């Protein structure tokens, strides 16, 4: 069946020439873009009028913790730094169960989708004793939402008694971590073009697992040809901690344990020097830039301008909702622009630079740029559209592409993932959404009350 998106006022392709088309169309067959161009376009069995909209590739979120959408704006840590924030919230998170994971995953995905996200990853590193299948639960939730999903099998093996931060009840043995990683890859990882589900491996951080575990995970990723992900160089405290515990700064430690290679993307990368950036670029590592989270926790400003100039693969990320309190990718795009300009001037990054981070850049980070991240013939129909006739966009039509970043379109008007419509007329297509929100609020209150009662 052929679907044609017609009368597109502005089309941002992110193709090799970075073409931006006027009065355009997109023809789609079986979830794949057949043709794009200017003018009326062909007829289709299904025709969708996008007059008065700007259309972009669907946004790609490169780092998240879905379960944290249950723990937004927790008053006790609203002004805490990362380590204190973690220690406090681990006591809440250790009570999670499969239902909490499933519901919070759907909520987190839908919130992002409402702002134009069509592909997301997630790092789920909490696996409380006696509770299995958390990642299976979020994969099932993702399938129901229709998002393109690249979850990472997170892990922690060092609890407080071993010099780590989490309580004993949420860490696992290194043997268990490897066994479950193999299970998930063999069960879910889809290597085909246009895959809807892929698996990556993700020790939570250099201070959450042993060096041996980092090495074993990298070897497993090599064996199964999957990607690797972790948090790195997020705060100055982490920098000091890594030197104290490992005798090396974070990037140098990653080099020691075999984690500087093209499979890897790191979240944050705030505290880097020129040598660090050179090493990361030389080894083709990617980055998930989380500007709102970095501001929220006072972590610092990542040297994104310098990394971009050096040729690094850069994507954007909303990060977990406990350190952002929002899953709005439009806000993340704008904050990525503004945060660099605070220190580096108004020409540090352009609106189109950060829009590219959110689309093609994210696809490159997740090694999906062969089939998503841009709107062109042969790629998956992962598409977002935004209204131009809103109050907050009025007067911003001299350059609608820049206005999408600089003004406030509020949310996506239309989202398509793999050729299937998921947001229409600004509304998520799921009649159960009101009930889902109620379930989320009930679970959140229950978890917070349970931990407070201890």
Question: Could you tell me the pLDDT band of residue 378, with boundaries at 50, 70 and 90?
Answer: very high
Of the candidate ranges 159-173, 181-195, 261-275, 352-366, the one whose mean pLDDT is the lowest: 159-173
Would you say residue 375 has pLDDT above 80?
yes
Of residues 132, 144, 137, 229, the one with CA closest to residue 188: 137
CB neighbours of residue 141 within 10 Å: 24
Q: What is the mean pLDDT of residues 285-306?
A: 96
Asked if 269 and 62 count as a contact pair (C-beta separation under 8 A), the reply is: no
The single-letter DSSP state of residue 2 is: E
Global pTM reads 0.96
Would you say residue 282 has pLDDT above 60?
yes
pLDDT of 161? 82
Of the candidate ranges 20-24, 116-120, 161-165, 194-198, the one whose mean pLDDT is the lowest: 161-165
Question: Could you tell me the pLDDT band of residue 450, with boundaries at 50, 70 and 90?
Answer: low
What is the separation of C-alpha 161 from the centre of its chain, rounded to a whole number of angstroms? 32
Q: What is the mean pLDDT of residues 143-155?
A: 98
Of the candidate ranges 137-151, 209-223, 438-452, the one whose mean pLDDT is the lowest: 438-452
Percent of the chain with pLDDT over 70: 99
Of residues 403, 386, 387, the one with CA closest to residue 395: 403
What is the separation of C-alpha 274 from the centre of its chain, rounded to a whole number of angstroms? 26
Tokens 């592409």 sit at which residue? Answer: 401
Bridge partners, 27 (sequence order): 4, 35
65 vs 89: CA distance, rounded Å: 13
Would you say residue 362 has pLDDT above 70?
yes
Q: What is the mean pLDDT of residues 30-36?
A: 98
C-alpha to C-alpha distances, 289 to 34, 313, 402, nearest whole angstrom = 32, 10, 20
Asked if 86 and 125 count as a contact pair (C-beta separation under 8 A), the reply is: no
C-alpha to C-alpha distances, 54 to 23, 86, 153, 391, nearest whole angstrom = 10, 40, 36, 15
Would you say residue 314 has pLDDT above 60?
yes
Of residues 292, 351, 286, 356, the one with CA closest to residue 318: 292
pLDDT of 59? 99
Q: What is the mean pLDDT of residues 134-147?
A: 98
Q: What is the mean pLDDT of residues 207-225?
A: 95
Asked if 56 and 359 count as a contact pair (C-beta separation under 8 A), the reply is: yes
Would you say residue 105 has pLDDT above 70?
yes
**What are the tens digits of pLDDT across the range 331-357?**
999 999 999 999 999 999 999 999 999
pLDDT of 77? 87
For the chain, what percentages of helix, strand and coil (3-state, to nearest 5) are there?
40, 20, 40
394 vs 410: CA distance, rounded Å: 13
Percent of the chain with pLDDT over 90: 84
Would you say residue 240 has pLDDT above 90?
no
Of residues 80, 72, 166, the one with CA closest to residue 127: 166
Tokens of 217: 């995970």
Of the candidate ranges 184-188, 210-214, 367-371, the one whose mean pLDDT is the lowest: 210-214
Length of the chain in terms of residues written = 454
The burial class, CB within 10 Å (0-12 / 13-18 / 19+), for 127 is: buried
Q: What is the mean pLDDT of residues 360-389?
A: 98
pLDDT of 352? 98
pLDDT of 321? 85
* Mean pLDDT of all residues belonging to the chain: 95
- For 55, what's the count of Cα atoms within 13 Å in the CB-facing half-sphere? 31
Backbone phi and psi for residue 40, each to the nearest 5 degrees, phi listed first: -70, -35
Question: Could you tell me the pLDDT band of residue 416, with boundaries at 50, 70 and 90?
Answer: very high
Of residues 297, 292, 294, 240, the one with CA closest to residue 269: 294
Question: Could you tell me the pLDDT band of residue 452, with boundaries at 50, 70 and 90?
Answer: low
**What are the tens digits of pLDDT across the range 67-92?**
999 999 888 888 888 788 888 888 88
Q: What is the mean pLDDT of residues 62-67?
A: 97
Question: Could you tell me the pLDDT band of residue 100, with boundaries at 50, 70 and 90?
Answer: very high
């Amino acid at each position: 069946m052929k679907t044609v998106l017609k009368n597109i006022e502005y089309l941002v392709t992110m193709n090799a020439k970075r073409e931006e088309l006027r009065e355009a169309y997109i023809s789609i067959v079986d979830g794949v873009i057949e043709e794009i161009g200017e003018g009326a376009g062909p007829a289709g069995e299904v025709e969708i009028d996008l007059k008065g909209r700007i259309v972009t590739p669907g946004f790609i979120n490169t780092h998240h913790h879905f379960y944290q959408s249950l723990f937004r704006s927790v008053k006790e840590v609203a002004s805490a730094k990362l380590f204190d924030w973690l220690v406090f919230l681990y006591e809440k998170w250790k009570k999670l169960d499969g239902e909490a994971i499933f519901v919070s995953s759907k909520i987190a995905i839908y919130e992002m989708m409402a702002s134009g996200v069509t592909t997301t990853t997630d790092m789920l590193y909490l696996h409380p004793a006696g509770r299995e299948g958390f990642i299976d639960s979020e994969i099932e939730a993702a399938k129901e939402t229709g998002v393109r999903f690249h979850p990472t099998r997170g892990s922690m093996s060092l609890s407080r008694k071993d010099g780590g931060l989490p309580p004993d009840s949420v860490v696992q043995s290194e043997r268990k971590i490897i066994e479950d990683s193999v299970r998930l890859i063999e069960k879910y990882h889809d290597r085909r073009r246009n895959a809807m589900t892929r698996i990556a491996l993700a020790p939570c951080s250099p201070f959450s697992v042993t060096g041996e575990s980092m090495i074993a995970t990298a070897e497993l990723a090599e064996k199964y040809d999957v990607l690797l992900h972790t948090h790195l160089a997020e705060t100055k405290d982490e920098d000091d901690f890594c030197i104290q515990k490992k005798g090396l700064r974070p990037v140098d430690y990653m080099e020691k344990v075999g984690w500087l290679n093209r499979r890897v993307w790191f979240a944050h990368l705030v505290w880097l020097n020129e040598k660090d950036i050179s090493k990361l670029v030389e080894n083709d590592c990617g980055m998930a830039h989380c500007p709102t989270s970095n501001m929220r926790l006072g972590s610092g400003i990542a040297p994104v301008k310098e990394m971009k100039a050096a040729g690094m693969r850069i994507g954007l990320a909303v990060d977990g909702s406990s350190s952002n309190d929002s899953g709005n990718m439009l806000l993340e795009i704008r904050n990525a622009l503004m945060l660099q300009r605070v220190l580096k001037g108004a020409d540090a990054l352009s609106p189109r630079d950060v829009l590219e981070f959110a689309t093609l850049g994210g696809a490159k980070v997740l090694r999906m740029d062969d089939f998503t991240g841009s709107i062109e013939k042969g790629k998956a129909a992962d598409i977002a559209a935004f209204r131009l006739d809103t109050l907050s966009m009025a007067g911003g039509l001299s350059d609608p592409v820049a206005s999408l970043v600089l003004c406030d379109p509020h949310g996506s008007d239309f989202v398509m993932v793999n050729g299937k419509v998921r947001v229409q007329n600004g509304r998520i297509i799921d009649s159960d959404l009101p009930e889902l929100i109620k379930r989320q609020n009930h679970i959140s209150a229950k978890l917070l009350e349970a931990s407070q009662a201890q």
